[in-house]
Structure 1
Amino acid sequence: MGRIGEFFGNPGCRPDVCQRAPIVVPNFVLESCAGKISHEEQSSVVSTSDESSTEYGTVTVGDNGWIKTSRGFTGLQKDLTDRILDRLVWIAGTEYIFFTMWAILIVWIVLGCVYGGPNVWQVVMQDGQSLQCYFWDTLLMRQQLTSAHEQKVICGIVRSRIAGFKKLARKSRLSQKVDENEVTVTDAAVDMDLSGKLPIENWYDKLANWFSIIIGSLYSMIIFWIGIIIWIACGVIPKPGENQPPYSGETTGSNPRLVKFSSTWQLYINSATAVVLLVSSMFLQNIRARHDKFISKFIVKIFAADREIEERLRIDAGDFQTANPAVKVISSKRTAGQKIIDFYADVVGTGIGVVIAIGAIVAWLSVGKVMNWDDNWWLIIGTYTGLIGFLDGFVIREVYYRIVRDEERNYEIVAQEDLELFDLLGINCPEQFNGKPPNGHKKPLDFKISTWINRLCSSQWSVVFSIIVIVALIIAASALHWTTTGQLLANTPTMIIEAFFMIVLIQAHNWADCQRRVELTALLGRRQIILHHLDRPPTVVSKEE
């Protein structure tokens, strides 16, 4: 109970992270070592609620780009459950899952064509997709939180080394002051792609890129809502319903043959949005997995370059003992509402969320016989997972928006400290390597509109709105005694909004991930410039020339 008590004792914990990069000592100094110090970086996670309880952990960056931390995003020691969930996150973004999901979708379509698309056929897709999204939300939430924690740790390690570089540079021959009118010119040929585009390795990557660009656009949002409006308009047209003869009339009486806004009409949009959610979530998981892989490989290169820079500076300064300064990466301040949201996010993104999900499924299966496995029973799990998934969609967007802002702030600090190091070394940093968009770059109108929509959907008040909607839908469904119509009433609005949120989320990931790739590419470029500077004697020329 110690771990569970620790988790619930500090709900929504987002600890500060302290880093001290290990000393890199040249081989000729450590003759007993076969090579340089390993990739392991010492880190300490300091709980903001009790700074006296400092515990040390490790983060390891493998040559394949796999990042492993001994502590998770809550500051707790990782256990077997965490490692299993991390592996599941990786598996969810693989091509095997992608092809499996498409195979299931094709089989479902074929069965619908063979049997004429009965209601049960539609409900099966909705239930299956709801369960898939229910578990995918857990994996996506965990992926976001884990990646954010890893990036915080990485920023701390890089900043610790930069602080060490500054100390060593002041002790070395490079510490000579450079006249403010003179700078060291570097002609380093850094051939790097600063577009932030993901590398394409095969047709699947190309398809995923194309889909993410198309679906994550303002035009897709517009088309989506046009489709919803058309669907609502079709509901006004009387069509054969589920009523049985004798009829009270064509469209009149208590048992008409033709009805408006029938249950079948609601099932149509539920099935359509279920397919949208299924396909979108698969592509989003793949895009995130490829982005993390890209980022990890760059981090390996950045760490290697930093170790090489430190080794050269230590040789030049003759200092092989001074430790790199410890750096604390401060977590952003949060409101009480944001802490509650983070606690819920932690529940979703940890083993607790999985246990709750499995418990709900077991309970649903256990009442199947009692309900004679009828349509209402089929809809129960879809209604439950739909309502929870509806809330999860708002929470994921709100949490991700804050994660993006924190990462931007942390990498801005890294870039600023890098530029201070450049000034100390007397190096000009080309503008394209400062990690920022070029000056004078105007953003198109559709980007501004999409940004506004993203911010609106990412507010903590949007989470409050989702809770109010859920309560209202539960009251409405209860008034209808949770009949098929009542459950569809609770299902349909949530699935529509959840599908829209998936489009918004893909768009947000596209923008944020691209910017992060640009920042890390620029970070590596700055290291190459420093290494080029250390490779040759400094040449001092006048700016006036």
Structure 2
Amino acid sequence: MKYMFSILCLPGARQGIEIAAPTQTTSKDAENDMHYKRGLKAGMLDRWLDAIVEFSGSAYIFFFIMAALFTWVFMGIPFGHSNYWQIVISDSQAILSYIFDSLLMRQQLNGYISNLEVSACLRSRCASHKRMLRNLNAAIDYKEIDGVKVDEFATRLPPENWFGRICTRASFFLGHIFTVVIFWIGIIIWLGFGQYCGWNNDWQLYINSATSAMMVLYFSFLANIRERHSRYSRMCVDLIYQADSALEYKLRVLTGDETPNQPIIIQGLKVGNIQRAIDYYADLVGTLSGIAILIIVLIIWIAVGPLMSFSDNWWLLIGTYTGLIGMNDGFVLRNIHHVLRVHEDIQFEEVYMEDSEAFSIINLAQPKDGQFSKRSFSTRLSLAVGNVCSSEYMVIAGTATMIGLIIISSSMNWSLTGQLISNVPPNIIETFFMMILITGHNDFETKRREDLHNIYAKRLKLLSYVDTLM
């Protein structure tokens, strides 16, 4: 019984990690591997799920979804007068968003674990660097190596094709605060026409269709840019690993030190009860258990179709369910992104401090940290809004909103109007959260690329120092 309870409590626990960088041995027979390799998960199911997540962010999926979206738009020319045309996009979007919620959550959690492992590995090797540097008693003209240039490391995304360049630029536009303002202006205008339209179902369907189409775009777009940026970061980390491994090897040759790199322990993330509950839910979504539940719900929904004569209410039913859950997932996604990012930043600050100590040991000036770009006022404003929206209390507010909408729709016997009430607000809220999430992602990636650039610059300068001693 106690074992079963421990298993049930496992999701959401941000466990610590213990990892040591591979030791670079100076033995003639050794074949040191200096490249970065992602650790493969033990379970086959986990590896399959990660492959699905990676494929969901591919250009193939993005183009397929965009083609389907444009097909729906053009089908509106002959069928725009029909409620079914609008319900199709509502249901499709709701199901697609529900699925992407799970994929994006797993993508976020995978990136978090990967960044912790990278920071721990860098600190593990840096501890060896510091030990060996203390054993070196050689003088050097520091000015000769102050001008080391970081030519091998791209300070921006590597050369991309036209699709990649368009996506990179579009990501800043889609998450811009002015885009968010324009979105809310559109919502206010729509509300202003409510009385003119008699607050009828068609009036609700108009905004439901518009926000549904926007969410299809945002979800597929976010998955794509995250995956591309993840591949770029792995390239950057591989360069750092090569420089770091070369530095370790040369120091071992100079000092004869064969002590293995010691493991670094990163403690698990400590959170309060509310955040723990949010993390538990996020892990369940990230294991794609939510998609398994969706499949069961879809089967039940199809089975009750004949009983409801495949009416408008029946068509909206699945969209209502996935829309409400999707709105809640949107709150959780933003919260998890913020919480994990803060913890990752702390770990990279530890790497920065370890590197500073290495330079101080040999009394060597550190290379100046690079600044990719300063945050504009609009970016700072977008991030401020995002930080407010990432609060655990906002997640509670989202859950309360979902429950409130269910109560209202239930009081209306889940009629067409009642279901639209549970469709429209979640669509509006979730679209807004996707905009904020893209802003947060863009800022996080810019900051992380700056961190990686600075780490690499320091490795190159230390390598130049060691080369003068050999």
Structure 2 CA distance for aligned equivalents of residues 213 and 452 of structure 1: 16
Q: 2 CA distance for matches of 1:522 and 1:160?
A: 18
1:93 is the counterpart of 2:57: yes
Q: Report matched runs for 1:176-191 at 5 Å.
A: 185-191=145-151
Q: Which has the larger radius of gyration?
A: 1
Aligned partner (choices 495, 502, 505) of residue 427 of structure 2: 495
Identify which of 322, 326, 332 aligns with 1:385.
322
Aligned residues between the structures: 470
1:22–1:324 Cα contact (<8 Å) kept: yes
Farther-moved stretch of structure 1 (81-90 vs 471-480): 81-90
Counterpart in the other structure of 1:143:
107
Q: Does the 8 A contact of 2:102 with 2:288 survive in 1?
A: no
Q: Is residue 93–residue 216 contact of structure 2 (8 Å, CA) maintained in 1?
A: yes
**Cα distance change on mapping 1:451 and 1:9 into 2, 3 Å:** closer
**What residue in structure 1 maps to residue 177 of structure 2?**
218
User: Cα–Cα, structure 1 residues 485 and 200, in superposed 2: closer, same or farther, change >3 Å?
Assistant: farther
Q: Displacement of 1:235 after TM fit?
A: 1.5
- Give how far 1:108 is off: 1.1
The counterpart of 1:454, out of the listed 354, 376, 386, is: 386
Distance 1:517 1:316 in 2: 32
User: Which residue is 2:282 aligned to?
Assistant: 345
Task: Report sequence identity in percent.
Answer: 35
Within 5 Å, which residues of 2 pair with 1:109-188?
Answer: 109-174=73-138, 185-188=145-148
- Structure 1 residues 321-346: Cα deviation after superposition (integer angstroms, max 9, x where no partner): x1212211123321111110000000
Q: Indicate yes or no: 2:363 matched with 1:426.
A: yes
**Of 386-395 and 371-380, the range deviating more from structure 2:** 371-380
Shift of 1:5: 6.4
Equivalent pair of 2:34/2:245 in contact (CA under 8 Å): no
Q: Return 473-482 or 206-215, whichever deviates more.
A: 206-215
Mark the CA change 1:2 to 1:289 in structure 2 (over 3 Å): closer, same or farther. Answer: farther
Partner of 2:23: 23
1:299 is aligned to 237
Give yes or no for contact 1:394–1:457 (8 Å, CA) kept in 2: yes
What is the alpha-carbon distance in structure 1 between the residues aligned to residue 86 and residue 347 of structure 2?
47
Letter in 2 for 1:338: Q
Q: Distance in 1 between matches of 2:277 and 2:414?
A: 30
Shift of 1:10: 2.4
Q: Gapped runs of 5+ residues in structure 2? A: none
RMSD: 2.2
Range moving further from structure 2, 378-387 or 163-172: 163-172
What displacement does 1:535 show?
Answer: 1.4
Q: Deviations over 1:127-181 (max 9, x none)?
A: 001111100010000000010011101111110000011111222345x7x99xx
Larger relative contact order (CA 8 Å, sep ≥ 6): 2
Residue 6 of structure 1 deviates from its aligned partner by 5.3
CA distance in 2, matches of 1:356, 1:171: 60
Q: Is the 8 A contact 2:53 2:107 kept in 1?
A: yes
Aligned residue for 1:432, secondary structure, equals coil
Scaled by the length of structure 2, the TM-score of the pair is 0.95
Match of 2:443 in 1: 511
| Partners of 1:194 and 1:522 within 8 A in 2 | no
SS of the residue aligned with 1:235? coil
**Runs of 4+ that moved beyond 3 A:** 1-7, 182-185, 192-195
1:362 aligns with 2:299: yes
Contact 1:11 1:339 in 2 (8 A): no
| The structure with more helix, counted as a fraction of residues | 2
Q: 1-side partners of 2:6 and 2:299: how far apart? A: 28
Show the counterpart of 1:231.
190
**Which residue of the partner structure matches residue 280 of structure 1?**
218
> What's the TM-score once normalised by structure 1's chain length?
0.82
User: 183-192 vs 378-387, which deviates more?
Assistant: 183-192
Does residue 263 of structure 1 match 2:201?
yes
2:56·2:223 contact (CA, 8 Å) conserved in 1?
yes
Task: Please tell me whether the aligned partners of residues 397 and 505 of structure 1 are also in contact (alpha carbons under 8 angstroms).
Answer: yes
The structure with the largest strand share of the pair is: 1
